[in-house]
Chains A and B, each alone.
Chain A
């Protein structure tokens, strides 16, 4: 089955800095890569996704890049704000589209 590795497990930045979270996947058949944000006491919320036919996607301050050859994808958050503090999960899925999740990155943005 699919195996998703996510790094770092914890990321601490100053407000206004950029944050980058990286994930690798094992199954070359995976073709859908969503990112979720989970705030304390809430379920994960889809914030951005990318499919294998696209190398990069951007939505305001967040962007995701995909390198199919290397089997890794990254989440980039620019101009971080305290409300960006949360746990972020990457995921990868294949033909069934049922995602396998990474272990999560706890992002802390210091004001």
Chain B
């Protein structure tokens, strides 16, 4: 089966600019996650979707980050305006359902550099 697709692979922007990332999960996977991975750290959950509804966005900095999954398939994550500390790899993952019973499949990520 095809994996989780993410684009772009790399992005360099200046602080205060905006940026958007795209994710297409594995076909049929109802649950989609966005993670932020800062260099040298483990992934940190930003938001979880179940179909097109938000399950958990408690760690999403809502003043600057937004995400949507309008049709319950692909998703976009946006940052506006970006700060230097947003430099990280943004990982998208999907699973058949919520919960650990299904396991996660991660995409290769988008590496964001804010200068």
Same assembly? yes
Q: Are A46 and B103 in contact (CB under 8 A)?
A: yes
Cβ-neighbour of B103 out of A4, A49, A89 (below 8 A)? A49
A43 CB–B CB distance under 8 Å: yes
For the A-B complex, the count of residue pairs with Cβ-Cβ distances under 8 Å equals: 55
- The segment out of A12-20, A64-72, A77-85, A98-106 that lies at the interface is A98-106
**Bound complex: CA A14 to CA B42 (Å):** 25
**Bound complex: CA A56 to CA B104 (Å):** 21
- B93 surroundings in chain A (CB, below 8 A): 43
Q: Are A34 and B107 in contact (CB under 8 A)?
A: no
Q: Are A103 and B99 in contact (CB under 8 A)?
A: no
- A98 surroundings in chain B (CB, below 8 A): 33, 45, 48, 56
Q: How far is the CB of B18 from chain A (nearest CB, A)?
A: 24
Q: Are A43 and B103 in contact (CB under 8 A)?
A: no
A41 CB–B CB distance under 8 Å: yes
Q: Are B42 and A91 in contact (CB under 8 A)?
A: yes
**Bound complex: CA A78 to CA B87 (Å):** 36
**Bound complex: CA A4 to CA B104 (Å):** 18
- B33 surroundings in chain A (CB, below 8 A): 98
Nearest B residue to A94 via CB reads B100
Nearest B residue to A4 via CB reads B42
- A24 surroundings in chain B (CB, below 8 A): none
| Chain A, 35-61, CB within 8 A of any chain B CB | 36, 41-46, 49, 51
Q: Are B106 and A93 in contact (CB under 8 A)?
A: no
Per-residue CB contact flags for chain B residues 38-70 toward chain A (1 = under 8 Å, else 0) read 001111110010000000100000000000000
- A43 surroundings in chain B (CB, below 8 A): 4, 91, 93, 106-109
